[in-house]
Amino acid sequence: AQRVTQPEKLLSVFKGAPVELKCNYSYSGSPELFWYVQYSRQRLQLLLRHISRESIKGFTADLNKGETSFHLKKPFAQEEDSAMYYCALLRSGNTPLVFGKGTRLSVIA
């Protein structure tokens, strides 16, 4: 079964510390992976996708097919990064996104 695992429900870091939100996936095909973010009282929004190899708000994520991982990283956390983060997998064919259970990031001042 195709699956997305985010092992941490909650991650607390101090402001200025590095952040790594873990995401592992299980899929035998060629995946497309995304990170979505939900700030307090806001709708979910796309943060970044691996095919774009972009950096958004200082966050980056690299697809590691050998380790089947797509960890989200930021070198220096900011208080405004506090939010719920979801990793999502897009399989080939006409199938919807599969989301992980999410990790709540709390940045402590």
Partner 1 sequence: DAGITQSPRHKVTETGTPVTLRCHQTENHRYMYWYRQDPGHGLRLIHYSYGVKDTDKGEVSDGYSVSRSKTEDFLLTLESATSSQTSVYFCAISDTQGAKGGYTFGSGTRLTVV
Residues that bind partner 1 (CB under 8 A): 6, 9, 32, 34, 36, 43-46, 49, 51, 86, 90, 93-102
CA distance 36 to 93: 21
The structure tokens listed for 32 are 């497309």
Count of CB atoms situated within 10 Å of the CB of 62: 12
Q: Which is nearer to partner 1, 68 or 84 (CB)?
A: 84
Q: Which is nearer to partner 1, 77 or 98 (CB)?
A: 98
Q: How far is the CB of 44 from partner 1 (least distance, A)?
A: 4
Q: How far is the CB of 100 from partner 1 (least distance, A)?
A: 6
> Which residue has 């990790």 as its token pair?
103
Q: How far is the CB of 83 from partner 1 (least distance, A)?
A: 14
Are 35 and 9 in contact by the 8 Å Cβ rule? The answer is: no
Q: Which is nearer to partner 1, 17 or 51 (CB)?
A: 51
Q: How far is the CB of 107 from partner 1 (least distance, A)?
A: 20
Residue from 107, 21, 13, 92 nearest 62 by CA:
21
